[in-house]
Amino acid sequence: MSSPSSPARKKRVAIVGAGAAGMSAAWALSLSSDEFEVTLFERSPQTGGMATSTEIDPKYGASYINDGVQGASPVFYNTFKLFEELGFGSSEVGMQCSFGKSEEEFWSNVFPSPVVDRFQADIKRFGKVLKIIKAFEPVFALMSVQAMLSLFRFSDEFGEIIVFPLVALFFGTGNQTPFVSAAILERVFKDPSMRLFEYSPESFLASIPEMRSFPRLSLLYSTWATVVESKGNVTIRTLHEVTRVKRTSKQVDLTFREVEDVDLGQQIVGPKEEKEEPFDELIMCTDADAALKVLGKDASWMEKKVLGNVKYLWDVSVTHSDLSYMKKHYNLEYDPSMASNKRDDDKDAQKSFDYASKHFRPLYFIRSYPSDKKKIEMSFDLTIYQAQFQGVSEYGPSGTGVPSSSLLPPSQAAFLPHKPTSSSTASTAESIRKPSKTDPNETLEPPLPKHVFQTIFLDREDSEHLWSREEIDKDEVILTKWWKQQSHRWQHYGGTVPWMMFLNGKHHTHFAGAWTILNMHEIGIVSGFAAAYRLGARYPFTDDKDCKRLFALYLAASHGSRMRSEDREGFFR
């Protein structure tokens, strides 16, 4: 027992995984440096998880791309608040979409097409169904989108041409789209923390929503790591793999080893001697199946059941500049024949046609495979989506790469992993290729033949026989990368999400990561904050109501807990 004059021993916390969740947990714990001693283990050479950047040939009009996580809705308040604190900005981009290719399947959120006219009755009824789903959310949480469409007698074509491609866009679920929870579909139209589109009974999607393009994520995460370690109580160990966990009533013993390198397929090369270290608490910020592998025989039956219910799929993204492939499978440019010919008296439609004739620049493309219309292929135009191709600084608009003085004192700026810029310097770099302000739609991005695209082929196990990957000109391929993606099946919202509160806090262990609810960068960040908060750390954004709303919802859903009284606005909030 320590004497009254001796300081209390710091709580030793291990965090496994340095993606959005792990870094958020580490940051929150770093803000209480006198209470916690933290070690963050990451088997990759850098922090960031899926938020990675890759250098490309400057001939494409930029020196890098964000090849995994690229942008988000502006309602991701925690994400963009964090960026701001770290000295990074985000760029506005209109989310124009191009669904399908042929006249029988093409539609867009930019202007009405014959397809939208054909499904007018279904579209109007869909709005009423969204209200029913919202009213009976617990029931529809356990129902797939496919079952919901059948229940309300929507046509198969409406599901295959309109609904499934849209759900794939929302969640990146691709070929698991029919099995996504119907309740989650409603939330992307109605929930203020997730909403991407506004529903329209006339055109299905009412507008071109604003998206935010991320700055250079490799710089952001390396800056974040410097900030976290600057507090003195957090050590980040990259190229360290945790192999085993042994939990007792008093502590958690971690076995780990240093690795030489990790390739793109996540294969460990040259492991060194294993070591063991004791901790008081453990925060697992890995995929659910990776967490189970680390826990091994120490996993409880409930952990095996709940985490084992999370289904993962292997996808491959091919970043390329093959314009002929894109034109073969998608509509990249406006053609009047693609527009509805039944809207002569619709002034709004006529305005949209005129706008599209001048400014149709889709950045999302989705098509169904002809032989199985429930199976999806997705593509992006990175040149339109990512702001560096328009000459914006890698720190984002008005970004400097210098964290706020409350995070990193100016005297420590020299320890940043890059050369920070002043705001004036950033503005100069940003304006190098900026268009004039006479036309807000004018851009100085490279011409279409120089655009960089990314095509994602989904669900290797069940759909590889449908892929058209071999059609992409190998000489035009810039990068090929495999990804493990979470499936948002309705079973996830029955067998995993509601049970996380019964796992978190048991056996000195908390789980964090987007998979705990929904595969979004924002959920990853909030989940890390929540795990740290349960251990006694403070939530960094208590003064921001928009940020706090989702945090409080997540804390209740995944931890069965309320915010502490000093952080709430009232008894229930």
Per DSSP, the chain holds a count of helices (H) and strands (E) of: 20, 24
Alpha carbons 112 and 101: distance in angstroms, whole number: 15
Structure tokens at 279: 């901790």
Q: pLDDT tier at 267 (50, 70, 90 boundaries)? A: low
Q: pLDDT tier at 422 (50, 70, 90 boundaries)? A: low
pLDDT tens string 139-178:
988 888 899 999 999 999 998 898 888 877 776 555 677 7
Q: Strands of 436-518 (E only): list them.
A: 453-457, 477-486, 509-511
> Residue 420: how many CB atoms within 10 A of its CB?
18
CB distance 113 to 339 below 8 Å: yes
Of 27, 196, 237, nearest to 97 (Cα)? 196
pLDDT tens string 49-73:
999 999 999 999 999 999 988 898 8
What average pLDDT does the segment 491-499 reach? 91
Q: Which residue has the tokens 């976290």?
A: 228
Alpha carbons 423 and 416: distance in angstroms, whole number: 16
Q: pLDDT tier at 435 (50, 70, 90 boundaries)? A: very low
Q: pLDDT tier at 505 (50, 70, 90 boundaries)? A: very high
Of 166, 170, 164, 162, nearest to 211 (Cα)? 170
Alpha carbons 10 and 43: distance in angstroms, whole number: 25
Instruction: Give the bridge partners for 23, in sequence order.
Output: none
What average pLDDT does the segment 342-366 reach? 91
Instruction: Give the bridge partners for 254, in sequence order.
Output: 245, 277
- DSSP-H helix ranges across 213-322: 217-230, 288-295, 301-308
Residues 6+ apart with CB under 8 A from 373: 160, 161, 164
pLDDT for the residue 442: 54
Of 9, 417, 78, nearest to 228 (Cα)? 417
What is the helix (H) or strand (E) element at residue 42, kind and residue range?
Answer: strand 36-42
CB distance 514 to 521 below 8 Å: yes
Structure tokens at 237: 């160990």
CB distance 401 to 423 below 8 Å: no
CB distance 558 to 501 below 8 Å: yes
* Residue 263 scores a pLDDT above 60: no
* Angle at 476 (CA atoms; ends 475, 480), nearest 5 degrees: 100
Q: pLDDT tier at 271 (50, 70, 90 boundaries)? A: low
Q: Strands of 299-363 (E only): list them.
A: 312-320
Q: Which residue has the tokens 């995993």?
A: 496
Q: pLDDT tier at 544 (50, 70, 90 boundaries)? A: very high
CB distance 294 to 302 below 8 Å: no
Strand duo 281-284 + 11-16: pairing: parallel
Q: pLDDT tier at 194 (50, 70, 90 boundaries)? A: low
Distances (CA, A) of 533 to 28, 73, 157, 229, 399: 8, 25, 47, 19, 29
pLDDT for the residue 177: 73
Structure tokens at 118: 């054909």
Q: pLDDT tier at 185 (50, 70, 90 boundaries)? A: confident
Of 45, 43, 64, nearest to 53 (Cα)? 64
Q: Which of 134-143, 183-192, 333-342, 471-480 has the highest mean pLDDT?
A: 471-480
Q: Strands of 224-349 (E only): list them.
A: 234-238, 240-247, 252-258, 261-262, 268-269, 274-279, 281-284, 312-320
Torsion of the alpha carbons at 421, 95, 456 and 381, rounded to the nearest 10:
-60
What average pLDDT does the segment 540-546 reach? 94
Query: 84-98, 273-287, 443-457: which range is least confident on average?
Result: 443-457
Q: Which of 196-210, 442-456, 538-552 has the highest mean pLDDT?
A: 538-552
Q: pLDDT tier at 7 (50, 70, 90 boundaries)? A: low
Alpha carbons 237 and 418: distance in angstroms, whole number: 20
* Residue 430 scores a pLDDT above 70: no
Fold classified for 11-53+215-311+488-567: FAD/NAD(P)-binding domain (3.50.50)
The residue among 186 and 74 whose pLDDT is bigger is 74
pLDDT tens string 93-112:
998 999 999 989 999 999 99
pLDDT tens string 466-489:
999 999 999 999 999 999 888 878
How would you class 125 by CB atoms within 10 Å of its CB: exposed for 0-12, middle for 13-18, buried for 19 or more? middle
Alpha carbons 12 and 57: distance in angstroms, whole number: 45
Q: pLDDT tier at 432 (50, 70, 90 boundaries)? A: very low
pLDDT for the residue 528: 98
> Residue 261: how many CB atoms within 10 A of its CB?
11
Instruction: Work out whether the CA dihedral 334, 336, 341, 345 comes out positive or negative.
Output: positive
Terminal CA-CA length for the chain: 38
* Residue 205 scores a pLDDT above 90: no
* Residue 568 scores a pLDDT above 50: yes
Instruction: Give the bridge partners for 315, in sequence order.
Output: 483
Question: Which amino acid appears at position 107 of this protein?
Answer: W
pLDDT for the residue 5: 56
Structure tokens at 306: 């709940």
* Residue 22 scores a pLDDT above 90: yes
pLDDT tens string 294-305:
999 999 999 999
For 232, which DSSP code? S
Task: Write down the domain spans for the chain.
Answer: 11-53+215-311+488-567, 92-213+313-391+435-486
Rounded to the nearest integer, the mean pLDDT of the chain is: 88
What average pLDDT does the segment 260-278 reach? 69
The residue among 436 and 522 whose pLDDT is bigger is 522
CB distance 232 to 31 below 8 Å: no
Task: Report the share of the chain in percent with pLDDT over 70.
Answer: 90
Alpha carbons 458 and 252: distance in angstroms, whole number: 38
